[in-house]
Amino acid sequence: MKGQQPSQGSLFACVRLEEMIPSDHLLRRIQQAIDFSFIDRLTEPLYSGTGRPSIPPPVLVRMMLVGYLHGITSERRLCQEVHLNLAYRWFCGLSLEDKVPDHSSFSKNRHGRFAGTNLFREMFYEVVRQAQACGLVSGKHLSVDATTVQADASLNSLEPLVVPLSPQQYVAQLNEQNPAPPAATTPTHDDEPPPSPPKLSNDTHRSATDPEARLLAKRFQKTQLAYSDNVLMDNAHRVIVEVEVTEPNLHTEGQIAGELVERSRLRLGLDPQTLGGDKAYGYGAAVRRLCEAGVTPHAPAPTQGQWNVQGIFGKDQFAYDREHDQLICPAGKRLRPRTRHARNRQTEYAARITDCRACPLKVHCTRARYRVAHRHWDQDYLDRAHRARATPGYRWSQRCRKRIEHLFAEAKEQMGLRRARRRGWTNVTEQCLLTALAQNLKRIVAALPPLPPAAASAVGRPLAQLLRWIHALGCPGGGATTIECLP
């Protein structure tokens, strides 16, 4: 007998959201692995003791995490998805009868109660500390890299900077713009090309839409307004331990790595020994900053100059006399300082013409009348990085640092980090921090052993208690090594 669907639905239904969420669902595993009590603790000073009850902060934060975990970049759409999806409702602590907060609640709290605080950074640190408690962060060997985040602004919003002028400069500018008419008029040519548009630069232009964004011109890519997301990763389980947003500049990215290392040591108690990076972290100022931070830089050497590959003596063939600030060539002659280049942070040394004229090694040293060599102001730190490249740990660091690219790919393809959701350095920092927090949640869940259905259906039990229960029963996945890493 063919069944018929009733035309009238039931007026009442007895449904438990807890029973409808699969045991292997990502949100269920996160709920059981992470202690989210820090949300109430961190937001307690931001609320008044009197007045109307507000939306519970855990509801707002959990909804934001749902958006980052599932790549929902629009807060309007996020509210719709939480309204429809049972798993999202259960993770946010909302029942079927509860009303989902309006999308404007996020903006009001972001620009009001949460403005000017380090709330999201402190939440990020809390998750990292839980990863440390699970034994997922060794803190000895780290990797650093940066990726660009396209700003929510167009190149058409660029406007020239208005620089105040002194009276003398203003008069001179007027004279240049209104020159005196020539004595004899010259014929004009209609076929003359129009004047070229002014060159766009961060020194001359700013975006009216997002003034804190900066121009970025990469090879084989179009010029765009962007930010730089600097990430410090622990090599053990790819847990992100530090995040910082800067302007997309290679020199800035190289020097910010030392600050990230010092901050991880101060805030998380890490003791990093080595730091792997690409060529952007191998030039003088970056290497010096990393050495001052107390780590050994594992970064490839920058591209050498053209004169160093012409079959002549390289700069490594010259000894340095620190006491007299002179270079000694392979023939034993001294090169004295001639010019200091502040931009390149180098000192130029030159030999005497008489010394090079009668030198038997001149054919292997220079093709000019005398030899000129340069020494970097941070050459001692560069030599330290050069010696580190010959160690086995350097090759291992270079292999591990490539795993940070997996995090960038995941963040851009699955979590919406390819483009900034909102404008301004503060909003982009919030996006990068919450993206890294969501990635750390996934790393913690992936590293922990899967729970059997009986343990996964338990409610209100901390994960450590469940794992000890599994170990006592002799179930697979509850080994002694897992128990030892628990807090």
Model confidence over 264-314: pLDDT tens digits?
999 999 999 999 999 889 888 899 999 999 999 999 988 765 445 466 788
> What is residue 478's predicted lDDT score, i.e. its pLDDT?
39
pLDDT band at 17; cut points 50, 70, 90: confident
Residues 131, 229 within the same domain = yes
Structural domain contains residue 177: no
Residues 341, 458 within the same domain = no
Higher-pLDDT residue of 475 and 162 is: 162
Residues 402, 282 within the same domain = yes
Residues paired with residue 227 on neighbouring β-strands, in sequence order:
149
pLDDT band at 487; cut points 50, 70, 90: very low
Coil/strand/helix, residue 131: helix
Report how far residue 222's alpha carbon sits from residue 224's, in angstroms, rounded to the nearest whole number.
Answer: 6
Residues 25, 141 within the same domain = no
Beta-strand (E) ranges in 235-377? 239-246, 274-276, 296-298, 319-321, 326-328, 334-341, 346-350, 372-376
Structural domain contains residue 351: yes
- CA angle 465–467–472, rounded 5-degree value: 95
Structural domain contains residue 7: no
DSSP state of 166: -
> Which residue do the tokens 């790393």 mark?
443
> What is residue 472's predicted lDDT score, i.e. its pLDDT?
46
Over its C-alpha atoms, the chain yields an Rg (Å, rounded) of 31
Mean pLDDT of the chain: 84
> What is residue 78's predicted lDDT score, i.e. its pLDDT?
95
> What is residue 368's predicted lDDT score, i.e. its pLDDT?
86
pLDDT band at 199; cut points 50, 70, 90: confident
Structural domain contains residue 179: no
Residues 279, 354 within the same domain = no
Share of the chain above pLDDT 90, in %: 53
Q: Report phi then psi at 107, rounded to 5.
A: -65, -40
> What is residue 287's predicted lDDT score, i.e. its pLDDT?
92
Residues 276, 342 within the same domain = no
Report how far residue 438's alpha carbon sits from residue 69's, in angstroms, rounded to the nearest whole number.
Answer: 6
pLDDT band at 461; cut points 50, 70, 90: very low
State mean pLDDT over 37-53: 90
Coil/strand/helix, residue 11: coil
Distance set, CA 155 to CA 100, 211, 226, 424 (Å) = 37, 12, 11, 16
Distance set, CA 293 to CA 154, 256, 265, 297, 351 (Å) = 38, 11, 10, 10, 37
Structural domain contains residue 191: no
Q: How far is CA 239 from the centre of its chain?
A: 13
Structural domain contains residue 438: no
State mean pLDDT over 215-240: 91
What pTM value is reported for the model?
0.81
pLDDT band at 53; cut points 50, 70, 90: confident
Structural domain contains residue 245: yes
CATH code assigned at 259: 3.30.420.10
> What is residue 273's predicted lDDT score, i.e. its pLDDT?
93
CA torsion, ordered 180, 183, 186, 188, to nearest 10 deg: 30
- CA angle 67–73–78, rounded 5-degree value: 50
Residues 105, 47 within the same domain = yes
Residues 353, 460 within the same domain = no
Query: For residues 78 and 66, is the Cβ–Cβ distance under 8 A?
Result: yes
pLDDT band at 179; cut points 50, 70, 90: confident
Tally the domains of the chain: 3
Lowest mean pLDDT among 8-17, 226-235, 340-349, 380-389: 8-17
Residues 146, 33 within the same domain = no
pLDDT tens per residue across span 347-380:
999 999 988 988 988 888 888 889 998 898 988 8
The strand pair at 334-341 and 326-328 is best described as antiparallel
Report how far residue 160's alpha carbon sits from residue 167's, in angstroms, rounded to the nearest whole number.
Answer: 21
> What is residue 482's predicted lDDT score, i.e. its pLDDT?
34
Coil/strand/helix, residue 372: strand
* Per-residue pLDDT at 240 exceeds 70: yes
List the domain range (segments joined by +) for residue 407.
125-153+222-301+389-425
Structural domain contains residue 3: no
Residues 291, 144 within the same domain = yes
Tokens of 323: 């006491």
Residues 131, 235 within the same domain = yes
Q: How far is CA 136 from the centre of its chain?
A: 20
Residues 39, 115 within the same domain = yes
